[in-house]
Structure 1
Amino acid sequence: MNKKSLQTKEKIEKAMFSLLTTISYDQISVAEIAKEADVSRTAFYRNYDQKDDVLKKFIDEQYQIFIADIEKNKLLTLMEELKTYLSYFKRNPHLMEILLNAGFEGVLLNQQTIYLKKLIQTRHPELQLPDYAYSFQSGGIYMTLVWWVREDHYQTPVDTLVQYIQKHLEFNTK
Structure 2
Amino acid sequence: MTKRSNETEAYILGALERLLKKKAFAEISITELAKTAGVSRMTFYRYYQNPTEILTHEMSRIMTELTTKVDFDAMIPHEGLVYIMRFLKANGDFIKVLVAANEQDMLRDSIAKTLVQLSHHKGQLQDLNSREIAYYARYHSTGLTSVIVDWITKAGPETPEELATFLERIGEGAET
How many residue pairs match? The answer is 169
| Match runs of 1:13-162 below 5 Å | 13-71=13-71, 76-121=75-120, 124=121, 127-128=125-126, 130-151=133-154, 153-162=155-164
Aligned partner of 2:64: which letter? Q
| Comparing 140-149 and 43-52, the one that deviates more | 140-149
The offset of 1:4, in angstroms, is 3.9
| Comparing 110-119 and 163-172, the one that deviates more | 163-172
CA contact (8 A) 1:75 1:81 kept: no
Deviations 1:69-110 (A, max 9, x none): 324x98614432221121123334443233213312222212
Match of 1:5?
A: 5
Aligned partner of 2:15: which letter? A
How high is the TM-score relative to the length of structure 1?
0.79
5 and 149 in structure 1: CA distance in 2 versus 1, 3 angstrom threshold: closer
Q: Percent identity?
A: 25
The offset of 1:125, in angstroms, is 7.2
Match of 1:169?
A: 171
Gaps of 5+ in 2: none
The offset of 1:116, in angstroms, is 2.4
How high is the TM-score relative to the length of structure 2?
0.79
CA contact (8 A) 1:79 1:162 kept: yes
17 and 75 in structure 1: CA distance in 2 versus 1, 3 angstrom threshold: farther
